[in-house]
Amino acid sequence: MPLIILKLLGSIALLIYGMKVMSEALQKMAGPQLRNMLGAMTTNRFSGVLTGSLVTVAVQSSAATTVMTVSFVNAALLTLGQAISIIMGANIGTTMSAWIMSAGFSFNIADFVWPVFLVAIILIQLGKYRYVGDFLFGLSFLLFALGMLKEGGMALDLAHKPAVAEFFASFQTNYWTILLFLLIGTVLTAIVQSSAALMAITMVLCSTGAISIFQGIALVMGENIGTTVTANLAALSANTQARRTAMAHMLFNVFGVIWVLILFFPFVKMVCGIVGLDPEYVPTLEQKSDEAYMATRATQLSFALATFHTFFNVINTLILIWFIPFIEKVVCLIIRPKKSEEEDEFRLQYIRGGLMKTPEISVLQAQKEIVLFGEKMQKMYDLLKEAYHAPEDEFNKLYDRIDKYEDLSDRMEAEIGKYLGDVGQAHLSDETKGEIRAMLREIGELESVGDSFFNLVRILKRKRVGKVEFSEAQIAGGMEMVQLLEDALTQMNLVLASPRGAVGLGKSAYIEARINDCRNRLKQENIDALDQHLYGYDNGTVFMDLIGECEKSGDYIINVVEARVGESHDK
């Protein structure tokens, strides 16, 4: 008995390892294509479900698809709505694993394992087809583990163990028993973090007669909830949208479990009827001793579990696909961002779900995003000013937030630029084409503003590390430059938010001229102070680096305004 139990545990470990190797190999073979699919095939909720299904079938791991989706939401490559539809599809795609396992209970898999092992080793050694070999190697382990589980389950013969039979017989077929087994399935899947492994164990228990099909299906329902733990763990360190995606995955499965529980017994009987199985029938002692009958029944039981798993996820998706916006609202209410995170989070609010049907409207949406881009840069500058006087601990936190804003500016430029590039492929008027060119320049210059602000905080950090203290004259000159730069930003955002042509270049050009004059004056004053030994060379260098970077920021800001108003000025 101990040897058989160890054999079963080893088979489960081998099954998990085989699934892992197979999934990783598939992801390596088709990684870029899968990422492109996730990004390109999610223009609506239906294509999102299809994408999630196909990707999960390809990599044979709903956890891999879900974790990938969470990471894409974290990087703002997918919206929350797109991610929810992909996860719905992933739940459908993962049913393929259950069918593979059920097939393993219908014939002797070992006959196929050894040739596949041989081919896999040859391909791995050749190197050129290493990933194909890795996939076959993982598949071999998976099939071998299923065969070992089947043999181990039969050898264990739990149905004929009086103590085991009495234990499981003590659970009457009622809702309390169903809820208990659902909880057990949830906890075990959360611990093992492999619903595939628990599905295999459930099939073994059902096929050997240790538990009824009702109890087995309850375990499968628990596995659907337990598997969501993987995505929630992956999202712990991610941003709010990613955590909401993981929460949506859990709500999807919890909702499915609730409606199945309400219709549990008639629904199970319907599913079992499809595979020709009577869920309430108990084999006689004579039938239990008939190996051929028990083998056929084991196959029916495993197919019933796979059928239930498929129906559960398909019907759940057909119901909830119409409520994706509502699910978004629910998870947004459940998971609220911290104030600082809400301010720093990267979200495109107007460009969502692909291009608008009218290209001209698409241009308008893009302009709204550029207005938000400018506001983000204003917030970044406010943090920069706050960092100047902040104590050490607070400075480090602000430095990290400003760093995130710099990364945010890169991503906003990339996303808006990609969108404008797609809009530009449509048939547009010459005027609209000119607007797109101007907007592309706007986002490029705004991204440069973000880079320049990050350079400023790096100089401030250098000032702190070098323990440089500015003189009163330097502080006064710096404050003047800071105020001029803030005026330039405020005017820039006013221009961006106004209709094209409503606000001219005049005021922005005036502020830019004052910034240049201030820079030139402070530069000369710094030379004079160094000549008079009023402060050291390091002090003067840091000060002028700050002033020079402020002047560069002013240049980028006036460039944004020029692009918006369609004018230029002599610098």
**Average of per-residue pLDDT across 6-10:** 74
Q: Return the higher-pLDDT residue of 292 and 90.
A: 90
Query: Residue 548 pLDDT > 60, yes or no?
Result: yes
Kindly state the percentage of the chain with pLDDT values over 70: 73
- Alpha-carbon distance of 488 to 182, in angstroms, equals 62
Quick one: pLDDT at residue 75?
Answer: 52
- Residue 433 above 90 pLDDT? no
Average pLDDT over residues 518-542: 88
Question: What pLDDT was estimated at residue 451?
Answer: 92
Q: Identify which of 558, 549, 545, 369 has the alpha carbon closest to the alpha carbon of residue 451.
A: 549
Tell whether the model's pLDDT for residue 506 goes beyond 60.
yes
Question: Residues near 361 by Cβ (< 8 Å), separated by ≥ 6?
Answer: none
Of residues 519 and 72, which shows the higher confidence score? 519
Q: Which helix (H) or strand (E) holds 296?
A: helix 291-320
Whether the predicted pLDDT of 517 surpasses 90: yes
Per DSSP, the three-state class of 280 is coil
| Residues written for the chain | 571
> What's the whole-number mean pLDDT along residues 271-299?
73
Per-residue confidence at 361, pLDDT binned at 50, 70, 90?
A: low
Q: What share of the chain is helix, strand, coil (3-state, %, to 5)?
A: 80, 0, 20
DSSP-derived 3-state class of residue 300: helix
How does residue 140 score in pLDDT terms, banded at 50, 70 and 90? confident
Q: Which residues contact 58 (CB under 8 A, 6 or more apart)?
A: 26, 30, 34
In whole numbers, what is the pLDDT of the chain averaged over residues? 78
User: Cα 506 from chain centroid?
Assistant: 45
Lowest mean pLDDT among 53-57, 348-352, 385-389, 543-547: 348-352
* Close Cβ partners of 34 (under 8 Å, ≥ 6 residues apart): 27, 55, 58, 59, 68
Question: Could you report the per-residue pLDDT of 306-359, keeping only the tens digit for each?
Answer: 888 889 989 999 998 888 889 888 988 888 776 555 554 555 666 644 444 455
- Read off the pLDDT of residues 409-420 as tens digits, 9 standing for 90 and up: 888 888 888 888
Return the HEC string of 200-250: HHHHHHHHCCCCCHHHHHHHHHHHHHHCHHHHHHHCCCCCHHHHHHHHHHH
The Cβ of residue 155 has, within 10 Å, a number of other Cβ atoms equal to: 13
d(CA 72, CA 90): 15
pLDDT at 338: 60
The DSSP 8-state label assigned to residue 348 in this structure reads -
Q: Kindly give the interhelix angle for 62-74 and 45-59, rounded to the nearest 10 degrees.
A: 130
Least confident interval from 186-195, 255-264, 308-317, 440-449:
186-195
- CB burial of residue 185 (10 Å; 0-12, 13-18, 19+): buried
Structure tokens at 408: 């945010």
pLDDT of residue 234: 60
Residues 6+ apart with CB under 8 A from 345: 239, 240, 241, 337
Average pLDDT, stretch 286-313?
Answer: 78
User: What's the chain's Rg over C-alpha atoms?
Assistant: 32
Mean pLDDT, residues 168-173? 62
For residues 380 and 374, what is the distance between their CA atoms, to the nearest angstrom? 10
- pTM > 0.85: no
C-alpha of 402 from chain center: 23
In terms of average pLDDT, the best of 72-86, 125-139, 198-212, 542-556 is: 542-556
Number of C-beta neighbours around residue 502 at 10 A: 10
Query: Using CA atoms, how far apart are residues 151 and 26, in angstroms rounded to an integer?
Result: 29
Please state, in angstroms and rounded to a whole number, the distance separating the CA atoms of residues 388 and 408: 22
Q: Where are the domains of the chain?
A: 2-333, 341-565
Task: Tell me 78's DSSP state.
Answer: S
Rounded to an integer, what distance in angstroms lies between the CA atom of residue 368 and that of residue 348?
A: 10
In order, the DSSP letters of 415-475 are HHHHHHHHHTTS---HHHHHHHHHHHHHHHHHHHHHHHHHHHHHHHHHHHHTT----HHHH
Which of 70-74, 171-175, 512-516 is least confident? 70-74
Which pLDDT band, with edges at 50, 70 and 90, does 131 fall under? confident
3 state SS of 194: coil
> Encoding tokens for residue 53?
């299904």
- Nearest CA among 97, 266, 94, 254 for reference residue 183: 254
> What CATH fold (topology level) applies to the domain 341-565?
Methane Monooxygenase Hydroxylase; Chain G, domain 1 (1.20.58)
Q: Choose among 459, 457, 452: nearest CA to 395.
A: 457
CB atoms within 10 A of CB 390: 17
Task: State the pLDDT at residue 425.
Answer: 76
- Tens of pLDDT, residues 19-57: 677 666 765 665 445 555 555 555 677 777 887 787 776
Which range, of 102-106, 390-394, 552-556, averages the lowest pLDDT?
102-106
Nearest to 151 by CA among 99, 208, 213: 208
Give the whole-angstrom CA distance, residue 539 versus residue 559: 31
C-alpha 457/C-alpha 455 separation (Å) is: 6
Mean pLDDT of 488-495: 92
- Listed range (44-53, 396-405, 487-496, 528-537) with the worst mean pLDDT: 44-53
Q: Which of 133-137, 218-222, 435-439 has the lowest mean pLDDT?
A: 133-137
Closest CA to 353 of 413, 441, 422: 422
pLDDT class for 489, splitting at 50, 70, 90? very high
pLDDT (tens digit per residue) in 237-260: 556 777 788 888 889 889 999 998
Burial class of residue 92 in the structure, from the number of CB atoms within 10 Å of its CB (0-12 exposed, 13-18 middle, 19+ buried)? buried
What DSSP designation does 337 have?
Answer: P
CA distances from 431 to 255, 351, 410, 445 (A): 51, 21, 27, 21
